[in-house]
A and B are shown apart, each in its own frame.
Chain A
Amino acid sequence: MKNLKYFLIFTFQLFPNYLPGHHSFTAEFTAEKTIIIEGVIKEVWFRNPHVRYLLEVSNENEAEIWDLRGSPVVWLARKGWRRDSIKIGDQISVSGFPGHGEKKLLSIIEVTLSDGSKLIDKAPR
């Protein structure tokens, strides 16, 4: 686990508000912490009701597959986040709320692409 590239972030002030959740995040994710993981995109589902990416995170001995969940397409499209914004094979860093327990599940807050550009799920005020 020591080389697993994720870091706990104990502050939420960096991310004051987020996507318009359309289902029970409490049931799946915890708001107690956010984490950042890095890896390579293996699968992309850019569809409503929510987008999904599978991210392969390299470990010293093995690779872990993380299940990333995002907003509905209609919401992401409004922010310039399109089907081809993240493609299979892309190296990304992503922050989000992890799933409960040991589930390798992440509700996306922000994605940093390999060129340094960012994609953010941000809710309206």
Chain B
Amino acid sequence: MNIFEKIIINILLFISLTIDINAQDSNFEGSWELSLQDGARTLIGTLEIEKQGSTWEGHLEGGPVEIIIDANEIEIIADSRDVRGFIFNRRLKGKIVNDQMSGSYRQEGAAAQKEKPGTWKAKRDSSVISQSLLPNPQDISGIWTATQELDFRKYTMSLTKKGNDWLKVYLPYYDQPDVRCTSIGLPSLVTYSFPFEILKSNDRYTFLYEYQGKTRRIWMEKDKPSSYMPPSRMGFSKGIWEGDTLVITSNLFEKTIRDFRGELVSENAEIEERYSLSSDGQKLNAIITIKDPENYRRNPTRRRQWVRDKTTEIFPYTCDPDSFYLPMYENDEMQMYIDRSHLRF
């Protein structure tokens, strides 16, 4: 073999290797159903991976994640908040083999809710939402107690400029509605870890939330609110059964915030909740999606699970904001708080 032939062979080898690497890389693109094992609990989320030029972009449940890809290896860094509100990251490392990803993960950062290293896997997202299913109503009435299953509690979201501008002026805690006993509304009320009760009537479901003692009606026959119904934190909710999934679409909102971070949910938002029962009827799962293009470039998603618990009672909730206002007075923060009045709702 002469020198010329060697050069040609090396070039061909390099090209074939490059094509192979690119082919491996491109396998990561798409929408994935990500599941992560934290001890006995399983978290589920939609992971979207896209290639933008030479860089990778990832989103988990609508919020940005850092993606590092090297041939068939992937690293995903996703922020979250624990049940107490402290923020941390999960670093997932793994490989793609036969169009499925899997690997191990560990928690990083200071969190109250510690997670031991665990495993994760992802398969192509095959969920298909069919609206042509015949209604097959399920018995979802009863008292439901929240578990810590399913929800990644993705912390940061992919915001529009307007959403980012709002967040820059938001002051966590001080601007949060419920600390001063004002309704937190949707979607937070659905995602908080307090029990709620579902009552069924002929034309509606009534959801009674323990937290803040709030009531919500899901209208099954009425398509829209009366013209004089005012906007509210709970909005107007219309429900339909798509097969055995109760799909609730809500609008007519007042402004509120999505979560502790303080991202805005606008008056024009639409919130979709999809409730489904486990086969034994003892678990209720929900996927909650915010559709608010004014503030979010992608739809934020949360997941919740509740279990039937006959021992749980819904307690009365009497709220007194003294514990919020008094410390501000003692710490000479009242003027600051008053000066920010125009930023609260």
Contacts and interface: CB of A to CB of B under 8 A. Distances in A.
Interface of A: 12-13, 15-32, 45, 47-52, 67, 69, 72-75, 77-78, 97, 107, 123-125
Contact of B113 (A18, A48, A52, A107): A18
Contact of B84 (A19, A73, A78): A19
B247 to A, nearest CB: 27
Contact of B319 (A19, A21, A47, A97): A47
Interface string B234-272: 000000000000000000000000001110000000000
Contacts of B148: 17, 123-125
Given A47-B320, A49-B324, A24 B260 contact: yes
Contacts of B260: 21, 23-27
Interface residues of B, number: 45
Contacts of B284: none
B208 to A, nearest CB: 13
B85 A74 contact: no
A51 B261 contact: no
A90 to B, nearest CB: 19
20 contacts: A18-B84, A20-B83, A20-B193, A20-B194, A21-B84, A23-B172, A23-B173, A24-B172, A24-B176, A25-B84, A27-B260, A45-B323, A48-B181, A52-B323, A74-B316, A74-B317, A123-B193, A124-B146, A124-B147, A125-B148
Contacts of B181: 48-49
Instruction: Determine chain B's interface SS by DSSP, over half rule.
Output: loop
A78 B172 CA distance: 28
Nearest to B88: A31
Nearest to A29: B86
Interface of B: 40-41, 81-87, 110-114, 145-148, 171-173, 176, 178-179, 181, 192-194, 210-211, 260-262, 315-324, 326-327
Contacts of A67: 327
Contacts of B147: 124-125
Given A31-B112, A123-B148, 17 more contacts: A19-B84, A20-B146, A21-B260, A22-B179, A22-B211, A23-B85, A23-B172, A24-B172, A25-B84, A31-B110, A31-B111, A48-B320, A49-B323, A52-B323, A73-B318, A75-B194, A124-B193
A50 to B, nearest CB: 6
